[in-house]
Each structure stands twice: as C-alpha cells, then as structure tokens.
C-alpha cells in the first residue's frame, strides 16, 4: 500500500517511488494513477473501470497471492482513510500460509499538506474526523465532533461535503459555535499540491458560505488559533 502524497511528485517520497517502480501490478483510483502516469506505464493496471474499492483491493490481494509485486496506490497517506486497512482486512481472511507479505509506505497526508498551505494550524493537539456517513453512522460522527469541540482540539475534517451530503458541515459549525467564538479561524484547502491548489481562511461564523466540496479539507482552529499575515497559526504556548 503506497501513499503518493497529496498530488505533485515533488511531495512523494523516494520509498513510495521505489515501491511503484518495483511493482508489476498497479492498483488504484484512475485519478491518482493519472498523477503518476509515467511511473506506471507498461505495468498491469487495475484501475477504476467498473470496479468498486473492495473488488479492486481484492484483485490486488489475489495478484499478490499469485506471486506478483503489487502496489495499491492511495493519494495522501494510505493509513489515513486510505486503502491500508481494507487490504489488511482482506488479507486476514486467508490462512496465514498463503497470505502475501504486506507493507504500508506512508505518504504526506492530505491534512498535513493542507496545514502546510494554511500556515501552522496543527501545532497543538488535533482531531481528524471524516464526515462521510457511507460507512459510519452519523450519530457516531456527531458525537466525535461534540467531543473534539469540547476538548478544544483543532479539528481537521475530511469529506466535509458532497453533492448529496450538504447539511453535516452546517451541523459541525453549529456545534463548534456553542464552544468557540464566531471569529475562530477556519481554513479550507482544495487540491493541495496540485495545479488547482487553492486555500481560503475564513471564520467559524462564515466558513460554510465558502466553496466546500468533496475535495476540500477543512481545518477549524482551537480557542487559541489566530491569523497573522494571512497565515493560520495555533500557538504552542511559548512565552515570546
């Protein structure tokens, strides 16, 4: 399982590059394969096509059990809402004697990339929450938001909104406003490290008026986060 980072190859580690170059079979979402197309040309590709996530990872496991070197590509870090867990779950269904060897090559995560573009919002304790309710009941997600807000965590939100799912980010805003001031900085980053990269720093009061979609990463500051010279900073607590 190989993390290619947020987009540009300049943010992909040599370990990830070597894993891809050494693989005979490349498995991944077409959009991500497009980001590394010259690295994968000539290899067997198991792309999106008609296959769902589970089927694609199952195909990867089967190829590996046939003795092939397989790289399953995730954008960002495969260990953070990526394919690492799913592949390990699928592998564990087989007897140990036939299981392929599996390793995870970490990548620059979407949240790490977004933070670097915004300034330094993650300098203190933070919580990472996905608003996608496809695999997680909304009640669980909402409880986590409530706890993260009550604990004054900086909160990084994956999958904040989709065409179908628009109300959850409004609920996050309402819960956060119960504990944090309306001027609390909120950063929104799109397409970190890709050609379409852009960022916006807004406030807890206003941020849901900004463009947010399934490619956005949203970071809500804690009670100490401030904006200076267009950068979002959560102070560590030094006396300066």
Backbone angles phi, psi at 156, to 5 degrees: -105, 130
Residues 220-239 that bind its own copies (CB under 8 A): 228-229, 231, 233-238
DSSP state of 102: -
Q: How far is the CB of 36 from its own copies (least distance, A)?
A: 13
Q: How far is the CB of 235 from its own copies (least distance, A)?
A: 6
Report CA-CA distances (Å) from 37 to 32, 33, 56, 146, 178: 9, 6, 18, 42, 47
Q: How far is the CB of 147 from its own copies (least distance, A)?
A: 3
Residues 81-140 that bind its own copies (CB under 8 A): 81-82, 84-86, 88-93, 96, 99, 102-109, 112-113, 115-117, 119-130, 135-136, 140
Identify which of residues 53 and 183 has a Cβ nearer to its own copies in the complex: 53
Q: How far is the CB of 107 from its own copies (least distance, A)?
A: 7
Site stretch for its own copies (CB under 8 A), options 14-22, 38-46, 161-169, 205-213: 14-22
Q: How far is the CB of 76 from its own copies (least distance, A)?
A: 9
Residues 162-191 that bind its own copies (CB under 8 A): none
- DSSP collapsed to 3 states, 74-96: ECECCCCCCCHHHHHHHHCCCCH
Q: Is 200 strand, coil or helix?
A: strand
Identify which of residues 78 and 202 has a Cβ nearer to its own copies in the complex: 78
55 is an interface residue for its own copies by CB under 8 A: no
Environment class of residue 139 by beta-carbon count within 10 Å: exposed (0-12), middle (13-18) or buried (19+)? Answer: exposed
Identify which of residues 26 and 155 has a Cβ nearer to its own copies in the complex: 155
Q: Please state, in angstroms and rounded to a whole number, the distance separating the CA atoms of residues 80 and 128.
A: 9
DSSP state of 7: S
Q: Please state, in angstroms and rounded to a whole number, the distance separating the CA atoms of residues 32 and 56.
A: 14
Residue count, binding to its own copies (CB under 8 A): 77
Q: Is 85 left (phi over 0), alpha (psi -120 to 50) or beta?
A: alpha
38 is an interface residue for its own copies by CB under 8 A: no
Q: Which of 24, 69, 150, 174 binds its own copies (CB under 8 A)?
A: 150
């Amino acid at each position: 399982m190989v993390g290619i980072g947020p987009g540009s190859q300049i943010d992909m580690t040599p370990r990830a590059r070597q894993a891809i170059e050494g693989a005979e079979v490349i498995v991944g979402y077409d959009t991500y394969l497009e980001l590394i197309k010259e690295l994968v040309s000539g290899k067997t590709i198991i792309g999106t096509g008609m296959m769902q996530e589970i089927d694609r990872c199952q195909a990867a496991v089967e190829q590996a059990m046939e003795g092939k070197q397989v790289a399953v590509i995730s954008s960002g870090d495969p260990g953070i809402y990526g394919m690492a867990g799913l592949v390990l779950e699928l592998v564990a269904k087989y007897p140990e004697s036939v299981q392929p060897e599996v390793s995870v090559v970490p990548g620059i995560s979407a949240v790490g990339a977004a933070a670097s573009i915004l300034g330094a919002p993650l300098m203190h304790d933070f919580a990472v929450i996905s608003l996608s309710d496809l695999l997680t009941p909304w009640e669980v997600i909402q409880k986590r938001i409530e706890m993260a807000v009550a604990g004054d965590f900086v909160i990084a939100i994956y999958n904040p909104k989709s065409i179908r799912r628009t109300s959850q980010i409004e609920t996050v805003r309402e819960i956060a406003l119960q504990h944090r001031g309306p001027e609390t900085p909120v950063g929104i980053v799109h397409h970190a490290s890709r050609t379409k990269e852009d960022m916006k720093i807004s406030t807890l009061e206003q941020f849901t008026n900004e463009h947010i979609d399934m490619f956005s990463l949203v970071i809500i500051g804690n009670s100490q986060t401030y904006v200076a010279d267009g950068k979002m900073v959560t102070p560590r607590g030094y006396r300066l």
